[in-house]
Structure 1
């Protein structure tokens, strides 16, 4: 029987990782990938906006292209990897992510910028499903913890992106992105270091995957995907437009990006703690609590100032992403035979759909103003919390996904 299922059917078993070293390497690659995509691209919007003389809608289109190329491609590459897992997706994905970002600093025109941002998004789409499959194999009996470790790498990469603007890129301008060629090389080195283990794990996993029986829970995964999309609209919308809100309040871009780092850094911490707890208590109720607690802090954010605004921002970021690893493992329980597809939906399509929200938010900001739009962010986690109540129980999923 699958070790992860053994743990879930007998909670007395101590959660234990199967390949800790490789898992932390995967987390490092995830950090680099997300730093160069969902971390830096939203943070760079003010610089892109200034360099190409864009309005808010055009700035939102940059996020739309980045997120949509990643979100559309991730489920597609996930389906491919479910049928024929490809270990070389890891190094190829991180290279494309890095090349797209690095060269975007030298784009001669707005349309070329969109092409390069799209290339980076496709690289992220190639990388994620295969990385999530590798994390699944490294998890052993601690699936929530394993997802927490790899996802916190990605979320920390997202949080560091805005921090690099005041520390580095405001001084260098967009041409400073050229230095990220070195970051790409580091990611490639880490990817190549885990390939021997991953190839062996793929061979060992073939027989086990054939033994999995039970039906996929289509309705449950569909609802869960909508919840992830709503969470994504909230998180990406805040991260992308928070600097504009603070500029509206008279706070400099430098300090605004530091506060964005705080928001995303709190999310990385929430991801890790939420993932660890998901090995011990119900994932469904963890997801509900994370969305429900987010609501009041999302509402307070544009209405508070000073130290209180920092506290609210931290708690908001912590809870909105505390379910990040939870939703991946929950989705894998619903579709046990399609780990790549689920990863593409949870980490790719659901999150990448935030690009649609960013475009809409950009347009609404042009019409109504950034301050007004931030009042909208409390509605999204409220709807998500209600939908969470419709999800199937974990016990019903376990009864239909036992192995022979």
Structure 2
């Protein structure tokens, strides 16, 4: 009797592990929404900080760099550590860092304190992203691209809401209003506590163990492919950083828009990013990830080159198309790399998220310095050619990686 019950329970657990756990994906995506919404408030606050504290573009770039480096340096280490020693409460702990940084940001009145607040939020991100990506893969039921897209779209939607919330709340009520968003962090911590309990149960049942850890290519070929993927990430995230950190300033200078109007138009771009992210993973599951990666960067080049030479309506339309196309790549690249290095889900997620944050931060800092010297409009005209580097996707092997 007891043996039969045990066998039945184990079989049910095994069947559940093979099915896509949409309720878990919805929960982890919702926390990604809240996490990235709170983090995007740093960038959305830039017009307020620039005017209040007389910050230069270079100082704004340094703020972005501090946040991005705090997020990037720790992420691969967190992913590697939790691959070896899973930590049930890591997600809740990471969200606590974000909460602390947000509260400090609402009260900081000196540039060093602003940097510290940005670093705390970055630390929260460094813990959240590799662990949450692991949860998404574990709940995917084999549909890895779909799961990563659902997870990513939560974050992109949260980032898109940042400018809206800045226009409706932060700009009218000022920097202290950021403290109101601590409620979002507390809600996220409650949801993450439930997710942590689900993850612990899956770990006890062995659902997170990888069936095979055989790499599809030799070590040398694997390093080469990873290098190509990181080069593509560099192209994508440096160009995207120009929008996330400076697009509002470009619109204000070029078209004489008010800050609130510029924030609303930034939302258009970020909304397109969310849509593209949602589409990229499932399409990669169907037609192959290389095709998605190839199109998502190189395909945006004609629109990027046209953007600095159009009027306001054309700029808004082109920004939407660029966001839609370029955002479809990340889920495909992440899953591609995870299949390249089976058994290292957290390490790969930490590396890719960390590298993306770091290169975006460095790019934002460099763009800020160039904008101080040459003007933001001139910088956009130069960056328009960056997506052409997406041609290096041709170096990726055409062999379909195994669905491990």
Asked whether the two chains share a fold, i.e. TM above 0.5, the reply is yes
Superposed CA deviations along residues 286-338 of structure 1, whole A, max 9, x for unmatched, are 11011122111111222211322221111011011011211111110111121
Deviation of 1:141 (Å): 2.1
Select which of 339, 342, 348 maps to 1:336: 342
1:203 and 1:378 mapped to 2: Cα distance? 50
Q: 1:171 to 1:186 in 2, by over 3 A?
A: same
Higher Rg: 2
1:178 and 1:375 mapped to 2: Cα distance? 37
TM-score (norm 1): 0.91
2:207 and 2:224 mapped to 1: Cα distance? 27
Native 8 Å contact 2:35 2:188 kept in 1: yes
Q: 1:83 to 1:95 in 2, by over 3 A?
A: same
Counterpart of 2:159 in structure 1 is 158
Q: 1:211 to 1:323 in 2, by over 3 A?
A: closer
Superposed CA deviations along residues 329-371 of structure 1, whole A, max 9, x for unmatched, are 1110111121111101222222331000000000000010000
Deviates more, 1:203-212 or 1:62-71: 203-212
1:42 and 1:108 mapped to 2: Cα distance? 17
Secondary structure at 1:353's aligned position in 2? helix
Superposed CA deviations along residues 39-88 of structure 1, whole A, max 9, x for unmatched, are 22222111122222211101110000011110111111111111111121
Deviation of 1:206 (Å): 7.0
Secondary structure at 2:209's aligned position in 1? helix
Aligned CA RMSD, in angstroms, stands at: 1.6
Secondary structure at 2:285's aligned position in 1? coil
- Matching of residues 282-297 of structure 1 within 5 Å: 282-297=288-303
1:208 and 1:192 mapped to 2: Cα distance? 22
- Matching of residues 258-277 of structure 1 within 5 Å: 258-277=264-283
Secondary structure at 1:105's aligned position in 2? helix
Counterpart of 1:256 in structure 2 is 262
1:171 and 1:114 mapped to 2: Cα distance? 23
* Structure 1 residues not aligned, in runs of 5+: 1-15
Secondary structure at 1:280's aligned position in 2? helix
Deviation of 1:211 (Å): 4.0
Deviation of 1:210 (Å): 6.7
- Matching of residues 176-187 of structure 1 within 5 Å: 176-187=177-188
Counterpart of 2:144 in structure 1 is 143
Superposed CA deviations along residues 212-263 of structure 1, whole A, max 9, x for unmatched, are 2236622211221221122111112212101111111211111111111110
Superposed CA deviations along residues 159-204 of structure 1, whole A, max 9, x for unmatched, are 1111111111111100000101101111101101212211122233
Native 8 Å contact 2:33 2:156 kept in 1: yes
2:19 and 2:382 mapped to 1: Cα distance? 40
Deviation of 1:18 (Å): 2.2
1:194 and 1:219 mapped to 2: Cα distance? 36
Deviation of 1:394 (Å): 4.0
Q: 1:221 to 1:203 in 2, by over 3 A?
A: farther
2:89 aligned with 1:88: yes
Select which of 216, 224, 233 maps to 2:229: 224
1:211 and 1:336 mapped to 2: Cα distance? 7
Secondary structure at 1:208's aligned position in 2? coil
Number of residue pairs the alignment of both structures matches: 382
Deviation of 1:92 (Å): 0.9
Counterpart of 1:311 in structure 2 is 317
- Matching of residues 121-132 of structure 1 within 5 Å: 121-132=122-133
1:137 and 1:69 mapped to 2: Cα distance? 26
1:276 and 1:211 mapped to 2: Cα distance? 23
2:26 aligned with 1:29: no
Secondary structure at 1:392's aligned position in 2? coil
Counterpart of 2:244 in structure 1 is 239
Native 8 Å contact 2:71 2:357 kept in 1: no
Native 8 Å contact 1:220 1:391 kept in 2: yes
2:343 and 2:204 mapped to 1: Cα distance? 16
2:21 aligned with 1:19: yes
Deviates more, 1:218-227 or 1:360-369: 218-227
Counterpart of 2:58 in structure 1 is 57
1:158 and 1:283 mapped to 2: Cα distance? 25
TM-score (norm 2): 0.91
2:178 aligned with 1:174: no
1:35 and 1:262 mapped to 2: Cα distance? 15
2:389 aligned with 1:392: no
